[in-house]
Structure 1
Amino acid sequence: MLLLLTPILSALPETARDVTSLHGRAESAVIDAVLWLKLGVEMVGAVIIALGILSAGWLLVKALSKGQTADFTAIRLALARYLALALEFQLGADILSTAISPSWEQLGKLGAIAIIRTALNYFLSLEMRSERHQTNPETPAVADRADS
């Protein structure tokens, strides 16, 4: 096909050929920028997960060192907050991917991942809300006791 177009392209004025090449370069630059942005958003999500694990781990160590092993709900909620935020960033990265996906198969995979992450975030939020309502506000949570 390219061989058939070569005589036509060579017959075009130089400016018309430059516009075509300029368009290709611009499109490539936009795709590269979106891929870098997607990578950055995924990295932010991964850092949030790491911070959540470190934070929950620290709270767990403090609670265990003080012998407070009866209730770890507050620690679970602290980790769940980080995970919910990280899932939002990961979903944002998936949405960026759909802007440059080349095929319906790729879009389908990204759609499935987005649905799974959204469902995980929804059920995680429900669990956090439920645990928060079950926690008695008069007694300090494990995280609060571990901080003092």
Structure 2
Amino acid sequence: MLAGQSIVGAEELVMHAVHWLKLMVEVTGALVIGMGLLATLTTWIRSIRISSKDVFIETRLTLARYLALALELQLGADILSTAVSPSWDQIGKLAAIAVIRTALNYFLLRELHEDSPPC
């Protein structure tokens, strides 16, 4: 009887740990978006006097880099929430979210590669 209780206790401990880890990953994703917004605004404000296509592209690319990272983090948080106690409903939602976020990330990265100056 005691062994069964320790298994249940361990499962609850893992569920709580994953819940907190998911929360930390989500907060990190939100912070990345906030930092990206600040970096983008800084780039835009510095270049407000210069009216050129290059400045506009650089400003967009700055934000796109941060958004791509934030999308990866948010997808990771979604995977964590489903990994502990998946139901078919949660798995379906995760699949839809994963497809949408992966597509967004793909197009963001493609645009980054197309618009970035060669190294």
TM-score (structure 2 length as normaliser): 0.91
* Residue 110 of structure 1: how far off its partner (Å): 1.2
Kindly indicate whether the alpha-carbon contact (under 8 Å) linking 1:56 and 1:78 is maintained by their aligned counterparts in 2. Answer: yes
User: 1:26, 1:126 → 2: CA distance?
Assistant: 43
> Over aligned residue pairs, what C-alpha RMSD do you find?
1.5
The within-5 A match list for 1:1-148 is 17-64=1-48, 67-71=49-53, 72-132=56-116, 135=117
Identity of aligned residues (%): 51
User: 2:107, 2:25 → 1: CA distance?
Assistant: 23
User: 1:69, 1:29 → 2: CA distance?
Assistant: 56
State the SS of the aligned residue for 1:69: coil
User: 2:85, 2:96 → 1: CA distance?
Assistant: 14
Cα pair distance change 1:24/1:136, threshold 3 Å: closer
Aligned residues: 117
Letter in 2 for 1:104: W
Kindly indicate whether the alpha-carbon contact (under 8 Å) linking 1:41 and 1:93 is maintained by their aligned counterparts in 2. Answer: yes
User: 2:28, 2:37 → 1: CA distance?
Assistant: 14
TM-score (structure 1 length as normaliser): 0.74
Kindly indicate whether the alpha-carbon contact (under 8 Å) linking 1:97 and 1:110 is maintained by their aligned counterparts in 2. Answer: no
Listed one character per residue, the Cα deviations across residues 36-57 of structure 1 (whole Å, up to 9, x for unaligned) are 0011111111111100000000
State the SS of the aligned residue for 1:68: coil
Residue ranges of structure 2 left out of the alignment (5+ in a row):
none
User: 2:16, 2:118 → 1: CA distance?
Assistant: 51
Letter in 2 for 1:105: D
